Amino acid sequence: MNYYAIQVKTRGEERYIRLFRALYPRITLPLYFPQRKIDIRQKGALVHSTAPVFPGYVFIELDREDDIQRYHWFFRKTDGFYRFLKSNQNICALRNDDLEIVLHFVKRVGPVAGKSMVYFDENSRIVVIEGPLMGLEGKIIKVDKRKGRAKIKLDLYNDSFSIDLAIEILGTALLPK
């Protein structure tokens, strides 16, 4: 399988996918828009919300590498399209670390990343038991225990950005002996 990234209007990812499906119902390619659940405190109340993992990006799964040439005009003609990555003239499939991080959220985590169960070891290092942070421990740059969030640094096509993922800190009674 080959995966390609399309940059679309930020906060318009779901709209882009719906519009593409409506305009071209015969094209049944898998399109992915990974999201994450996060709790936000607004005016003292806890609000459950979803936010994109990769804001402004939609991912396409294709069987063969030359299929992108067959479909690229359909994606370009859909309203909200900005560009293919690396560029519209040099459309490249995701490779190496880029592919690994996208597949982590698309295949292992699922469409919406929930909370990760974590605890802190005797050296105050975070240990992930389960959840979307599993396997991303080395990318954690900050933990906010009060808000129940871990900030991770992600890289996609030489562009670094950080996102918050929800964590639930388990008590010390669950620490392994």
Q: pLDDT: is 121 or 93 the higher one?
A: 93
CATH classification (class only), 2-174: alpha beta
- 111 phi, psi to nearest 5 deg: -65, -30
Percent of the chain predicted with pLDDT > 70: 96
> Other CB atoms closer than 10 Å to residue 21's CB: what's the count?
14
pLDDT bin (cut points 50, 70, 90) of residue 173 is: very low
Q: State both tokens at 119.
A: 């605890």
Task: Answer for the pair 139, 151: CB distance below 8 angstroms, yes or no.
Answer: no
pLDDT tens figures, 12-68: 999 999 999 999 999 999 999 999 999 888 888 888 899 999 999 999 999 988 888
Separation CA 161–CA 83 (nearest Å): 19
What is the DSSP pairing of strand 2-8 with strand 81-84? antiparallel
pLDDT tens, position by position, 116-127: 999 888 887 888
Picking from 136, 127, 139, 141, the residue whose alpha carbon sits closest to that of residue 176 is 127
Domain borders along the chain are 2-174
